[in-house]
Structure 1
Amino acid sequence: MNRKELMNFLEKKGLLSPEDSLTMASGKEASSLPLTLSHILIVRDLSEKDEKTLCRRLLAAYDETSPVILLSGEGILRLSLKEMEMRSSGEKETILFDSRKAIRRPAFPWNLEALDSTVHRLLAPGGCPWDRSQTHETLRTYFIQEVYEVIDAIDRGDMDNLKEELGDVLFQILFHAALAEKEGYFTMQDVADGIRDKMVRRHPFVFDKNSTDSTLSAPREWEKRKRIEKNRKYLLSGVPKGLPSLLLTCIIQKKVSSNGIQNLLQSEDLPVEMKDQISRFLEDDREMDREMKAGAFLFELVHYLQEKGIEPELALHRYAAAYMRKLRAFEDYVIEKGGTIPDLSPEETLRLWKDFLAEQPSPLELKTV
């Protein structure tokens, strides 16, 4: 039923009155809805997964005995939050939750004081000899390993392990901050304040009450603000060249695409027929199947290249590094013409790119700029 029909139905059943204030949302918003509203919350078309998400969030803020009204194929059910959490259903449902009738849990704001104290104790005289011998440089491999373990937990859908691995990453962050504090560079508070201030600056359309320009949320505007803030001359300044080649390539392509100049990513060395074949191979409506097909394609490509005596990691890294040099040379070319890429339209950028390519060797032949 549509919104009006639902409202009429709830009023007829005495679950809602015309005077009631309410927020109505869809199940897809279950993970982002504010749960401390002082009026009725109605969430429609909840899948079982979204219902579990909403229930977990409600249980974090309210006692498990708090009442919930559930509309499903079984009719109108009056349940507690705990009963709703235990329930399984294969159909989409609607939930009505009135926080005024619920029992709030006492607020326990989290803090990092105990963990920060633990880190400093390990690094203090009489602490752990191994920890005290570490530097920012010696910890690099451990940081990378912990991040990959987070990714592995996410891929496996293992939330208990994800909680643990996020803790390991957090420990690494506090450890680096503690080392920096010992050396007099900065503290963990500086780190927290710095990232908070950065996010506020980068999101004026959220935090600036006087900002009404919705285009500020566009990726191109985000990149533009970053370049101005960091005083970076080039689009790819700040991209670490030591990244694994596939990750480096993804970052390059995202940064170029976010500036509205996707056409600069078109490889002239790859035949159109091959691009079409790849596109047809990957066509599938199901996201997971598309991902698996893409994985199969990359796996087979790696196998083929190695049979030909080519090291895929080095080949892709070499091409990506050459592209970075090529793009930097193009940006210099644009500056010589009296412009900058952020100020050009995608059409103008593409026209200058074609002019530039006509005067330059291929990316693989381009010398270091």
Structure 2
Amino acid sequence: MSKILTKPDPKRASKLNAFDRLLTIMDELRENCPWDKKQTMETLRHLTIEETYELGDAILENDLEEVKKELGDLMLHMIFYARIGSEKGAFDVADVLNEVCEKLIRRHPHIYGDTKAEDEQAVKENWEKIKLKEKGNKSVLGGVPTSLPAMVKAMRIQEKARGAGFDWEKKEQVWEKVEEEMNEFMAEFNLEDENQIDREKAQNEFGDLLFSLINYSRFIDINPEEALERTNKKFIKRFNYLESESKKDGKTLSEMTLEEMDKYWNEAKSL
């Protein structure tokens, strides 16, 4: 039984009505719209991934109006998958929602049971232990999806290893590892004589360096994926300024020197 008393939600009825409205519209579209009738889970998959990235962009831009819109798009996709599952006789939206509710209750024994978890880390560790038992994985890392992008996968691997107690104790130790990997890479591959390097070995060493940096970011509570995406956006903004302002001055990037480009770049940095 829950250890907390949930306050009544005065808007619960309107929320349920809105959800019911979406279910009704989905049924109508699936039965009457030529495009919606043709869709399968496979055809929707890449669209769902695209919508997820669009939501991520809106969150990074702190555009709450756009976040609302993208959440709606993703909610539609979830309902669409549930409708297709129902047609296959596999599951319906009630099955989906009840299953996630049951999972949340199982994985929060500090709320719905007698387990104690005094801080966030304890909650994470309990979550991973319960998840490992549920899925029957032979390895702690067995639950990391193989299709995740490499940076996100590295984060999940490190988080799961930490949940099993395999982790550094202090961030200083992690930074020492970063420096060690950097020095190893520089010593072997930062060559001044332009000699051919062993590309495979260089790639492996560079991967080790990236992995250690991602590990350090975890210790200082920085999401490396978000940090890199913010830098991407910053670079695009400054490069667009370089292009537009140099064009106003009658210049062409391909004919400009790096020194000339740096003038516009530094202007963009000050904006």
The number of residues matched between the two structures is 189
Change (3 A) 1:272 1:147: same
1:153 CA displacement: 0.8
Q: Which residue of 1 aligns with 2:20?
A: 113
- Secondary structure of the structure 1 residue equivalent to 2:43: coil
Matches within 5 A, 1:1-369: 108-111=13-16, 112-124=19-31, 127-208=32-113, 211-214=114-117, 217-263=122-168, 272=180, 274=182, 295=228
Change (3 A) 1:122 1:270: same
1:247 CA displacement: 1.3
Instruction: Give, in whole Å, the separation in 1 of the partners of 2:224 and 2:153.
Output: 19
1:213 CA displacement: 2.7
| Partner AA of 1:121 in structure 2 | E
1:274 CA displacement: 2.7
* Kept in 2: contact 1:223–1:255 (CA 8 A): yes
Q: Which residue of 1 aligns with 2:268?
A: none
1:36 CA displacement: 6.0
Change (3 A) 1:155 1:270: closer
| Partner AA of 1:274 in structure 2 | M
Instruction: Give, in whole Å, the separation in 1 of the partners of 2:44 and 2:107.
Output: 30
* Kept in 1: contact 2:107–2:126 (CA 8 A): no
- Secondary structure of the structure 1 residue equivalent to 2:141: coil
Instruction: Give, in whole Å, the separation in 2 of the partners of 1:106 and 1:235.
Output: 41
* Kept in 1: contact 2:86–2:92 (CA 8 A): yes
| Partner AA of 2:142 in structure 1 | S
1:246 CA displacement: 1.2
Instruction: Give, in whole Å, the separation in 2 of the partners of 1:229 and 1:287.
Output: 28
Change (3 A) 1:258 1:118: same
Instruction: Give, in whole Å, the separation in 1 of the partners of 2:224 and 2:163.
Output: 22
Whose RCO is larger (CA < 8 A, sep 6+)? 2
| Partner AA of 2:89 in structure 1 | G
Instruction: Give, in whole Å, the separation in 2 of the partners of 1:176 and 1:232.
Output: 26
1:262 CA displacement: 1.5
Higher strand share: 1
Q: Which runs of 5+ in 2 are unaligned?
A: 187-208, 233-271
Q: Which runs of 5+ in 1 are unaligned?
A: 1-33, 38-60, 62-104, 300-369
Instruction: Give, in whole Å, the separation in 2 of the partners of 1:167 and 1:107.
Output: 18
Instruction: Give, in whole Å, the separation in 1 of the partners of 2:130 and 2:6.
Output: 33
* Kept in 2: contact 1:219–1:259 (CA 8 A): no
- Secondary structure of the structure 1 residue equivalent to 2:53: helix
Instruction: Give, in whole Å, the separation in 1 of the partners of 2:143 and 2:181.
Output: 35
TM-score (normalizing by structure 2): 0.58
* Kept in 2: contact 1:150–1:165 (CA 8 A): yes
1:218 CA displacement: 3.4
TM-score (normalizing by structure 1): 0.44
* Kept in 2: contact 1:215–1:221 (CA 8 A): no
| Partner AA of 1:213 in structure 2 | K
The CA RMSD over aligned residues, in Å, is 4.1
- Secondary structure of the structure 2 residue equivalent to 1:262: coil
* Kept in 2: contact 1:149–1:165 (CA 8 A): yes
1:167 CA displacement: 0.3
| Partner AA of 2:70 in structure 1 | E
1:131 CA displacement: 1.3
